[in-house]
Structure formats: C-alpha cells, structure tokens
A and B are shown apart, each in its own frame.
Chain A
Amino acid sequence: MHDSQDIETATTAVATEGRPDDKTRRYDRQLRLWAATGQAALENARLLVISGSATSTSILKNLVLPGVGHFTILDHTEVTPEDAGNNFFLEGPSSIGKSRAEEAVRLLCELNEGVVGKADTGNVAEILDKNPSYFESFSLVIAHNLHPVLLDKLSTLLWSDPTYPILAVVNSAGFLAEFSLQFHEHAIIESHSDTTPSLRIDKAFPALLEYAKSLDFSSMDSMEHSHIPYVVILVRALEDWKKQHDGKSPQTYDQKKEFKAKILDMKLKIDEENFDEAEAQAYRCWTETNVPSDIAPLFDDPQLDSLSPTSPLFFHLLYALKKFAAQPPHVLPLTSTLPDMKASTASYIHLQRLYKDQTTEEKRTFTSFLQVPVDDDLVDSFVKNAHGLKVLRGKKWGLLDASPEQLAEKLSMSPRETSTHLAMSALRASTIKHPDIRPTAEILTSEAKALLPPGTELPEEFSNAIGELVRAPTADLPNTAALLGGLVAQEVIKMITKQYIPIDGCCVIDLIETWTGMI
C-alpha cells in the first residue's frame, strides 16, 4: 500500500520542520483549548485586581501562568502577620510590614517572564473620588471583598459606559463565597458548543445529490459496496424514497421504520457496517435542517437594525448570516467538517471535497451580504461556528438585591443558593451599618429580611449560611481562596478570549457540602 521511497524522502527532510518553539511548548496544554487566537487575546489583556488578598493572588496566579499580558494590583496596605500566614504570594514573616501590592506582584511575576505586573500602592477610595478615568485603561477589573460602599461606586462607574472594563465582583468569608461578572454585552463566536452542524442530508446541495445519484451500487465490487459513506447512502435512499412518495421524506413512524428496513435491505453482505451506520443516522433524513432554535432569536437583535460602520464586527457578521438564512433553503452556511465514517479513502476524500467546495461557495454568498470589510479568518471562524453563536446580555452588579419580589421568588425556587447569596449580602450590609461590631446572627437576619418583602420566611438553609458567616466573618481561607481563584480565573479567561460560555448571573459556593450553584 505505501511507497517506501516516500517514507525515506520524508524522514530525511529537515527533521525540525513543524517543531514548536519554546513558547508553544510551554503553552501546549492550553493552546489545545483556546488555540493561538485565544492566546493572543489573553496576551493583549490588561487586568486590574483590587487588593492583594489571598483570594486576589490566587485568581491572578491562574491568569499569570497562562500568560495574561498585563496585571496591576491596587492595594495601599502593608502586609500584616495575618496576611503572611494565608497568602502563598507573600514570603512569610519576611514580607510583614512591606507593601502588600509590591510583595505580591514580585512573587507572581516569578511565575511567567512573559507577563508584566505592576504594583500600585494608591488608595482605591481616593482614585474613585479624584481620578475615575484610572480604570479605563484596563480590559477587566477584579475586586475581592471590596468595601461595599466602594464596590457600589466602582460598579456604578464601570456600568456607566459600555466601553468601560468588565467587572468581576468576588466576595468570600470562611467556607462560603459568591462572584459575578458585570458586563453589558458579550458576543461569542467560538462557544465550543457540543452541538454539531447539520450535514444537510435532507437538503442535499446539487453536487452531493448528483454524486449520490450517479453511483451505480449494483455494479460495485464487494469492497467498494461496503465502503460507500453513509452520507451518500442516505442521500440516495432518500431521493429514491421521495420519488415514490410525492417528493416527501418519511413522515409517519411506520414510514420511518420502512425506510430503515430499506437501507438494511441494500446490504449485499450481513457485515456491511456502512449500511448499519446509515440506518443509525437515518433520522437525519426527516429532521429538517433549518436555522437552529438557539440561533434564530439572535436575528431579532435590535443592533441589526441600526448597524453602522463602527458597530462591532460580530453584529455585521450576524446581519450577513440573517440575510443568508433568509434565502432558500433557509439554513446556516455549510461547514466542511465531516465526521469520520466507514468509507474507503477515495470515497471519503471525494465526499469531503464536495463539502469543501460547497462551503467555499456558500461562504462567498455569505460574504456578499457583509456591509464592511471583515478579515477572512474571522469570516471563516464565524461561518464554521455559526451553529453555536451566543450573545449574553449582562446586568449591573447589585440589581438582584434591588428587587425584593424577585429575591423571594428565587428563595423559594432555589433556597440553598439564594440563602447563601442573601447571607453574603447581609454581611456586606452589616459592614456598612455596624462597622465596629462583629456580625451576629440577629444582625445578619435582620439585614437579609430588609432585602425581602415583609413577612418572608427564611429557610433552614439561611441559618446554616449565616451561622458560618458569624463563625468566620473575615476569614480568607486558603482552600476557599484557591477554589475561587480557579473559578474566577476560568470566567475571566472565557471573557477575554471570547471563547466558551461564561456565567450569566451570580455563582454561589458552599465548601461545607461542596457545591456550587447559580442564581
């Protein structure tokens, strides 16, 4: 089968060809998740982290390691003996008394020479008052256990303009924690969704249909016959069926059963796996390919009606997609990713070629609907991932607590998650009202009740949550910090790379029973 001459020439060629450089080798395990485009986005990002707490440095560690471009720690405090005991990015007693931002930045920068870290010993309260434009140069701001008054100011400021940085709000005490992301809009092309695009067997494009019709199954030898790709078998069988059924695909349960039986009847020998595959995939013949139900609503986006040359490219691409899908056969552009199937090399490669040519053709049509020039790689990526597009619309931080009715409803629907969130909100409120008193169960309960409609019953889960907060109201536990560090960093990576799907809401964590939940 193989030509040994070829192998010889191949192996004597430059042995280092294609070999990755040091940077690619270092990042290999993550490039397999977000590729060079995700990596470039990460390297262009500028993060601001408010406080050098154990949780803050845990988050940063997981962003410095994969190579975020720049980070600043804003913290005006000095390292206390308490800090030195629970933060891995301080050097024990020798850091005590030094600037917490400077110590943490120094030790975090040791993790990756490609990352620029800056310590800012300014006071966030003063910056918010006197220099609010300070925040604009960052792509994302992370605030851990920021004083609620300052948090309110910061979130209001960053919400005031959609071009301002995304805000990640992180709060924790003892075994409990919560975090959320504040952003106006987040459009995702590469959602890495599990759904696969349609092969369009039910709406076979002309070249595919012609090919399927042109094959003479009866004159094939047994080797050829047992290697016809199932896609071709199905297109052909469907075409034959339609001829006998007024141009309709199998409709009823009995017809579908009959259709499947017909496919198995086409076998020359019992062990022809390609016909078994065709039978298993027969549903593709009567599952109509159209615009998926997750994608169709995106076409109603108000942004599409008021596009200007400066609108985000995503919406220009979405507009073109809408135009494309408005034309018959009312589908998304084809993608050339063909799954593996029982087939000979030649028949598989030929089929792949048909799909590729049609994909190129449809991409050309798609591009003709674009009103602005778009980089070809981006068009490719958009078309390839069109079946998994996502647009998230965020909320201003704190909006959840502004509606007592909504909170009460969530409390009855998910008592465990909402109770934990309420307890955290109550703890923040008590810091403002009773700054010098250690919170008690009574104080936290009354603060929580103030957020709910009068007379709302608090479930047992609420007592469990406030009990823990009363026990450890200011504890930044190493394990909680590390877990939050991972979760928050993961969401930040998803926001920055615009890949995968970030949280939409508030993520609540309980490390006693070890669960996470969303509200």
Chain B
Amino acid sequence: MASPNNPVDWQGRYHHIDQILDTPGPRTDEAFMAGDGVKNFLRNEAKILVIGAGGLGCEILANLALTGFKDIHVIDMDTIDISNLNRQFLFRPKDVGKSKAIVAAEFIMKRVPGVKVTPYFGKIQDKDDDYYMQFNLVICGLDSVEARRWINATLVNLVDPENPESLKPLIDGGTEGFKGQARVILPTITSCYECSLDMLNKPTAFPICTIANTPRLPEHCIEWASVLEWPRVHGDKKMDTDDPDHISWLFNVAAARAKEFKIEGVTWSLTQGVVKNIIPAIASTNAIISAACCNEAFKIATSSAAYLNNYFMLIGTDGVYSYTFEHEKRDDCPVCGGESLDMSISSEMTVEEFIETLTEKQDIQIKKPSLSTPTKQIYLQAPPQLEEATRPNLSKKVSELVEPGGEVTVTATTLPFSLSLRIQFTSK
C-alpha cells in the first residue's frame, strides 16, 4: 500500500507483512480491521517508545522499523563501549564514546527509509507524564532493575479509568547469557513488574567479615580491594568501574592480597566482572527476546493475532526450553495492588534493624528507605536537617513508634511510589 505520508514506500515493500494484515487467522480477535484500516494505524498513527538502545534496544529498533512502525522514539543515557560491539549491531568501532540513542536512531533512519526515530540521550526520569502519555506502546530493553521499576510505576500511575488512552501496554524484555524473558504488562490489568520482583535472582553478597578477615575465594580479595581498600586509599574519590586504570588498581591490590593468602584465580577479567557485576550477553539471546517483544508490540498495535498472556521465559543452555505462563497479579503489590503489605516483626526490633530487613527483603528491595506513619516521621534519609532530627529514632524499637496493626509508609528517592506496610509484632 502506498501511503501519502510516506512517499518512499515502494510497491511490494510490505508484501510479507501484508499477508498477515490483509486477512485474519483462526486465532485473530474480531476487532481486527483487516486491510487499509490497520495498515494506516500502524504506519501513520502508531507512536511507540523504546527504552534502552543497547543489546535489546538495537534489535528492537530494527524489528519495529521493518514491521512498519514509522514513528519511534528511543531513550538511552549510555554511550557506546567497545564491549557492546559483540551484539549491539547498529554500532561500529568509530562510534565508541557516542550516545547509543543518537547513533542507533541515525542508523535505523539510514537503513529503513521513511522511518522516523527520535532519540533522547538522557534518563527516563527526565521525562514527565505528558511525555509518556503521547505513546501507544512502550517497549523496554533495560538491564537495570531500578529503571524498570520506575517506568513500570510511572505507567501504572498514568492509568485514568475514565480515559482508555491512558493505558499504555508495557512490553519488557531481559536477558542473561543463554537465558531471557519477555512479558506483556497491561498496567493495572495484568501483573506488573513490581508484582514479580521476587522472581529476580538474589545478587551474591559477601559478608564484610569474610572479606576483611577470612578471604577464601578470589572474589573475596577483589571485594576487599573495591569495598575496603579503595575508600581507605582514595578517600572521597569515586571509583569508576568503566575506567581501566581503576580496574587495574583494584586488580593489582586484589592480586597482592590473594598472593599473601595463597589464593589463586584473581585475574583482570574476574576483577572487572565482580566490580561491574557483569552479566554475560550475546547477540543471539538478545535477538530472540527482542523479537518476542516486538512481535507482541506488532500484535497489540494491529490486533492481527492474540498476544502473549503474559510471560515467556527461555532457557537455551540445554536444548531450547521455554515456558509461557500467566504471571498472577499480586493484591498486595505496592504499585498496582492497592492493598497494604502485611509484615510481622519482633517487638524488640529497632528501626535501624527494620530498615536493614526492608533492604534485604526480596519482594521489596528498597535502597535507603524513609519511613513514616500517618501521624509522624520515623526516619527520613533526606534532607539533612530532617535526617538529623529523625536519627535518634534509629535506635528505638519500632513497637515504641507504631501501634500493632499500624501502617508504615516506605518511600525512596529511586522509586516513584510509596509502599504501605501493615505491621504486626511478635513477642520475640
């Protein structure tokens, strides 16, 4: 179909996709407007946001452009590193150091005529509700849990029951080595990202006393170098894990400690892996997961086929194993559930211990939480004056400040939502 807005379309350009868009299949919803209706929406009206222009983002942008989305926006705050080139196929060695979003957008526009890709080199948190409101769909290819929680909560908060346009489907992908997952989130309707937080792997943490006193593994020596030695030697100077000189320093310090304790296995690569928390990543897994995400975006935008309900998980280490299932919405999800979360703690527990429990709890995972009840502030991380004023509470028992069954609101600057806890006390 030649489209008036995009004169570059040539006869036959969409031959493959039009086979799908011209006729419904056995599992196609009745709302499907086969033919010009759906093509016009996809090619002239749909506006889609891609968050992340990295391993998944590069693939997502290419797939969306080829399937006929013409108005694509992309956000990424990162610049290109040489270690991206084994999978982020829109970048070349000459692009190292440049903005991922800008280089990716330019590449797509050059390769796929008539597609407009608008890049934003910055953080998702820079944008407000009005910005997110302009899109029909959001696809997320991020490696940060924090950023995902932010966009998830933002899109859930955006939903206005009076306005169907305010519901923006969020398609989220993630990979690790030969494994990955893709999911469809309909904010407030299906399970959201926050609902499934407890599915994440717990990051390996080494106890400080092991690192300081009884190192056994090369990792213990590396942690010693980065957690204890770096601040001791460099004071306030921030460690930059992207700076090879910093990694070299850590490697040498860790290697010396390992030698002292006769521990084998400290290498440059392991040092970098531990301090940067490097997750292995390959082109093929990113291709699978991005394709799954874009396929859902295409089906949702066109209604040409049923879409994923709602979670697809892939493990490629032993054959091809995948599992498609419906992840359940959590009634006590702090973002989309509406009910407060019940928590039972010892009546002896101090506020400080309580904060530590919260940061470690798998289904909460809040760094630096501030706490308050409906009537008083328990502990606030910022601003400094309030932190100082509430600091004495840290050593008090929670039971002195909160009634049994009372509510505690937890907030953190990294999250655009607050968590409501109903506290019960156990007598020891």
Contacts and interface: CB of A to CB of B under 8 A. Distances in A.
Contact of B284 (A32, A349, A480, A489): A489
A197 B273 CA distance: 25
A85 B296 CA distance: 20
Contacts of B318: 191, 193, 500-501
B41 interface: no
Interface centre among B87, B279, B295 (most CB of A within 10 A): B295
Contacts of A65: 85-87, 89, 283
Nearest to B260: A6
B98 interface: no
A515 B324 contact: yes
Interface in B67-93: 67, 82-83, 85-87, 89, 92
A81 B86 contact: no
Contact of A514 (B89, B111, B287, B295): B295
B354 interface: no
Interface stretch (A137-145, A200-208, A324-332, A467-475): A467-475
B282 A29 contact: yes
B295 A513 contact: no
Interface of B: 8, 10-17, 19-20, 23-27, 59, 62-63, 66-67, 82-83, 85-87, 89, 92, 111-113, 177-178, 182, 212-217, 229, 233, 244-245, 248-249, 251-253, 255-257, 259-263, 267-269, 272-273, 278-292, 294-296, 298-299, 305-308, 312, 314, 316-320, 322, 324
Q: 9 closest Cβ contacts across the A-B interface?
A: A486-B287, A467-B26, A486-B288, A81-B12, A10-B256, A483-B291, A85-B13, A482-B291, A478-B66
B293 to A, nearest CB: 9
Given A20-B268, A62-B287, A28 B319 contact: no
Interface of A: 1-3, 6-7, 9-11, 13, 15-20, 22, 24-33, 54, 58, 61-62, 65-67, 80-82, 84-88, 91-93, 96, 110-112, 174-175, 191-193, 227, 340-341, 343-345, 348-349, 463-464, 467-468, 471-483, 485-487, 489-491, 493, 500-504, 507, 511-518
Given A32-B280, A92-B111, A482-B291, A516 B322 contact: yes
A489 B287 contact: yes
A501 B83 CA distance: 26
B296 to A, nearest CB: 7
B23 A86 contact: no
Contacts of B282: 29-30, 33, 62, 66, 490, 493
Interface centre among B23, B249, B282, B295 (most CB of A within 10 A): B282
27 contacts: A2-B260, A3-B260, A15-B252, A19-B244, A22-B82, A28-B86, A28-B269, A28-B278, A32-B273, A61-B89, A80-B12, A82-B12, A85-B15, A175-B20, A345-B215, A345-B261, A349-B216, A464-B26, A468-B26, A480-B291, A482-B294, A483-B295, A486-B286, A487-B288, A512-B27, A513-B27, A515-B324
Given A29-B278, A486-B284, A349 B319 contact: no
